[in-house]
Chain A
Amino acid sequence: MHESVGQIIISALLANNFVLAMFLGLCPFLGVSGRLDTAFPMGVATTFVMLVASLCAYGLNLLLSAFHLEFLRLISYIVIIASAVQLVEMVLKKYSPGLFRALGIYLPLITTNCAVLGVALFQTAREYTLAQSLAFSFGGGAGFTLALVLMASVRERLQLSDVPGVAQGTALSLMLAGILSLGFMGFAGLGG
């Protein structure tokens, strides 16, 4: 693995976008993308959790490998992520109660966001160094935010248009996501 930090960021952000190319983190993508002013903070919060989780997972993996306890990897990662989410929740509750209420149930659900666990698992599987891991989680988080913001913008526009009754709701969101995903396929090959 000799990918440069820049390559990893670009690849995770565009070519292998977490949501649109790797299908990670679809629940918040479909759930919170209704409005732009909740989509962006949600993306930022998730990115922060990813960075913390990636850092802790890197250290933990060294520890587990040293003691040959690899089978505990999954369990310890998920515990770390749950704690990181708890941290973000407390910070948000203290400094931005309005946002805390707006994100509602989706905030604790970052724990079960597969994008976060995905970052930790992929960086271990690909044997990234610390710098590469952090670049990967940052790029992934930024890509998640990008997809969320794009989707929210389109959906805000759609609220004003006349959609056939049958297609309203999730079916429409999925079709939109498919079209966005088609667009992102154009980035294939970028960043190696």
Chain B
Amino acid sequence: MSLENSRNWDEFMEGIWKQNPTFVMILGMCPTLAVTVSAMNAISMGLATTFVLVFSCLLISLMRNVVPKEVRIAIYIVIIATFVTAVDYAIQAISLALYDALGAFIQLIVVNCIILGRAEAHAAKNPPLPAAINALGMGAGFTIGLLSLGVVREILGAGSLFGISLFGASFQPWVIMVLPPGGFFVLGSWLLLFAWWAKRKERLAAAVEVNQHA
């Protein structure tokens, strides 16, 4: 892999792992908790957000030298709102059932802090290609975050995955998981798990160091 490729790869992976918007930066919480009652909803929301993210970052990056600093936020918001309107109409045309399930949260992509955050922190300072790659990585990271919530909530709360029943008729669904409190609990548990994992790694590293000195 050449240097150029590996730099692009790092740019892409940043959003998926080191700066994961859901689990590390805790951004864009509203759609994360609201639409993840099923895995299908989670994926659609993730893809819609990724689309808006990539194209707004691309456009903002192309315009980065002509946008005056004082009004940049307003311009970014209008650009983002334009793409969201396009996505909104597209989803309405493709699947009305999905449109009803996601509800107002498609239009609320406009105020997803991930997008404005990326625009301000990355796309406004970098050339189009890295900006788009970085945005793609962030979008993928966000989709993974949504999916990891959607899968858990759908399995526990409805006993199915992507609408396919897993446990048969005798399964007693844990209804609270598809209701609002379940969203908070599942995301909280994921964060607990990651915090525990990080602590454990730290402890193991410390133990190895002690062994080396002994």
With A79-B74, A112-B111 as contacts: A165 and B26 at CB distance below 8 Å = no
B84 at interface (Cβ–Cβ under 8 A)?
yes
The reply to whether B181 and A27 form a contact with Cβ atoms under 8 Å apart is no
The reply to whether B180 and A20 form a contact with Cβ atoms under 8 Å apart is yes
The reply to whether B104 and A122 form a contact with Cβ atoms under 8 Å apart is yes
Residues in chain A near residue B166, CB distance under 8 A: none
With A112-B116, A170-B191, A178-B185 as contacts: A30 and B88 at CB distance below 8 Å = no
For the complex, give the distance between the alpha carbons of A78 and B192 in Å: 35
Among A24, A25, A111, A181, the one with the most B-chain Cβ atoms within 10 Å of its Cβ is A181
B172 at interface (Cβ–Cβ under 8 A)?
no
In-complex Cβ contact of A79 among B78, B107, B112, B199 (8 A): B78
Digitize A11-36: 1 where CB-to-B-CB distance is under 8 Å, 0 elsewhere: 00000000011111111001000000
Residues in chain B near residue A167, CB distance under 8 A: 192, 195
For chain B, the count of residues having a C-beta within 8 Å of the partner chain is 40
- Minimum C-beta distance from A27 to chain B (A): 6
The reply to whether B108 and A121 form a contact with Cβ atoms under 8 Å apart is yes
CB proximity to B under 8 Å, residues A131-152: none
The reply to whether B180 and A171 form a contact with Cβ atoms under 8 Å apart is no
The reply to whether B116 and A185 form a contact with Cβ atoms under 8 Å apart is no
The reply to whether B192 and A118 form a contact with Cβ atoms under 8 Å apart is no
- Does more than half of chain A's interface fall in helix, strand or loop, or is it mixed? helix
For the complex, give the distance between the alpha carbons of A181 and B31 in Å: 16
Residues in chain A near residue B33, CB distance under 8 A: 23, 26
For the complex, give the distance between the alpha carbons of A44 and B89 in Å: 34
For the complex, give the distance between the alpha carbons of A107 and B182 in Å: 29
Interface residues on A, range: 35 or more
- Minimum C-beta distance from A40 to chain B (A): 21
A160 at interface (Cβ–Cβ under 8 A)?
no
A103 at interface (Cβ–Cβ under 8 A)?
no
A125 at interface (Cβ–Cβ under 8 A)?
yes
Residues in chain A near residue B171, CB distance under 8 A: none
With A23-B34, A27-B29 as contacts: A166 and B180 at CB distance below 8 Å = no
Residue of A nearest to B184 (CB): A178
Residues in chain B near residue A91, CB distance under 8 A: none
Residue of B nearest to A72 (CB): B85
Residues in chain A near residue B184, CB distance under 8 A: 174-175, 177-178, 181
For the complex, give the distance between the alpha carbons of A130 and B34 in Å: 28
Residue of A nearest to B104 (CB): A121
A92 at interface (Cβ–Cβ under 8 A)?
no
A56 at interface (Cβ–Cβ under 8 A)?
no
Residue of A nearest to B108 (CB): A114
For the complex, give the distance between the alpha carbons of A102 and B161 in Å: 45
Residues in chain A near residue B78, CB distance under 8 A: 75, 78-79
CB proximity to B under 8 Å, residues A149-189: 165-167, 169-172, 174-175, 177-179, 181-182, 185
Residue of B nearest to A167 (CB): B192
With A30-B26, A75-B81 as contacts: A171 and B74 at CB distance below 8 Å = no
Q: A27-B30, A166-B199 are in contact. List 11 more A-B contacts (CB 8 A).
A: A23-B31, A26-B30, A30-B26, A74-B81, A74-B88, A74-B107, A112-B111, A112-B116, A121-B107, A170-B26, A174-B188
**Which chain A residues have a beta carbon within 8 Å of chain B's beta carbons?**
20-27, 30, 71, 74-75, 78-79, 82, 108-109, 111-114, 116-118, 121-122, 125, 165-167, 169-172, 174-175, 177-179, 181-182, 185
Q: Could you name 22 residue pairs across A and B whose Cβ atoms are closer than 8 Å? A: A21-B180, A23-B29, A23-B31, A23-B183, A24-B30, A24-B34, A25-B30, A27-B27, A78-B77, A117-B108, A117-B111, A166-B192, A169-B195, A170-B26, A171-B192, A174-B191, A175-B184, A175-B188, A178-B181, A178-B182, A178-B183, A178-B185
